[in-house]
């Protein structure tokens, strides 16, 4: 598969993730999946089993006592290898510009939290596991000259803000949820259809043979009756 080229881009949810919490400078940034867009119940199981076309919800949060910080999702890409986000990847968002049609940013009530989501992608059909690497930017809240407030920038420029930090967070693994009992259901269908197909083919043949036998019996009886009649008439003449 060519780099950054997919026929379809979607995501799916149902299980859990092995969260990688990064300590950067004197604060933590945590990235987690959530069950719904309400961002109340986080996904805690691992791996995170997902279904295709299912909506995924993520929240990044700065864990620090300083409420004057804000968080921005600059880049987020997917890869089947947790140690390689260059060889075979898929872009969800890069330099603040969404690359996936299903990527969406959700409003957050706090500047320390960044919320976004997207749908499952067909990458999960080709690879057993998928990992996400997201580049987060931490800035001073309400510093509109900082990267956090410039949103999409295809070409990044040097920021003039007084405070800004960048860090990468790896999230995963994410695994496609397979339908249980699918093969058994297929076998059951075959078993049910087997006798039907057999009868469908051989019933007409059996009916034809039955009709043929009846015709032979009737014809034989007719010939026997005719022969007996000729014998009786010959005897009468004598």
CATH code of the domain covering residue 124: 2.60.40.4100
- Do 118 and 73 reside in the same domain of the chain? yes
- Do 42 and 26 reside in the same domain of the chain? yes
- Do 134 and 186 reside in the same domain of the chain? no
Strands 113-119 and 104-106, how do they pair?
Answer: antiparallel
Handedness of CA 51, 39, 93, 134 (dihedral sign): negative
- Do 107 and 167 reside in the same domain of the chain? yes
Between 20-34, 49-63, 75-89, 213-227, the lowest mean confidence (pLDDT) is in: 213-227
In the chain, what percentage of residues exceed pLDDT 70?
60
- Do 61 and 165 reside in the same domain of the chain? yes
Residue 38 located in a structural domain: yes
| Residue ranges making up the domain that contains 29 | 18-176
- Do 53 and 100 reside in the same domain of the chain? yes
Residue 76: helix, strand or coil by DSSP?
strand
* Domain's final residue, options 176, 198, 213: 176
Residue 1 located in a structural domain: no
- Do 142 and 204 reside in the same domain of the chain? no
Confidence of residue 1 (pLDDT cuts 50, 70, 90): very low
Q: How many CB atoms lie within 10 A of CB 168?
A: 15
- Do 101 and 116 reside in the same domain of the chain? yes
- The pTM score is 0.64
């Amino acid at each position: 598969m060519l780099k950054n080229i997919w026929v379809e881009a979607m995501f799916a949810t149902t299980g859990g993730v092995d969260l990688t919490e990064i300590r950067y400078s004197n604060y933590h940034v945590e990235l987690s999946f959530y069950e719904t867009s309400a961002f109340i119940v986080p996904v805690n199981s691992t791996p995170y089993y997902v279904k295709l076309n299912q909506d995924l919800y993520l929240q990044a949060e700065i864990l620090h006592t300083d409420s004057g910080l804000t968080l921005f999702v600059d880049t987020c890409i997917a890869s089947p290898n947790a140690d390689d986000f260059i060889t075979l990847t898929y872009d969800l968002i890069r330099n603040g510009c969404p690359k996936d049609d299903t990527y969406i940013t959700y409003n957050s009530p706090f500047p320390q939290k960044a919320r976004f989501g997207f749908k499952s992608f067909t990458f999960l059909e080709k690879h057993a596991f998928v990992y996400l690497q997201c580049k987060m930017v931490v800035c001073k809240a309400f510093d509109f000259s900082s990267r956090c407030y410039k949103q999409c920038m295809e070409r990044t420029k040097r920021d003039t803000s007084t405070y800004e930090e960048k860090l990468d967070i790896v999230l995963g693994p994410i695994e496609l949820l397979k339908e249980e009992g699918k093969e058994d259901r297929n076998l059951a269908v075959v078993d049910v259809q087997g006798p039907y197909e057999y009868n469908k083919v051989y019933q007409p043949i059996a009916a034809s043979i039955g009709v043929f036998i009846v015709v032979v019996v009737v014809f034989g009886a007719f010939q026997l009756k005719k022969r007996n009649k000729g014998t009786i008439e010959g005897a009468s003449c004598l």
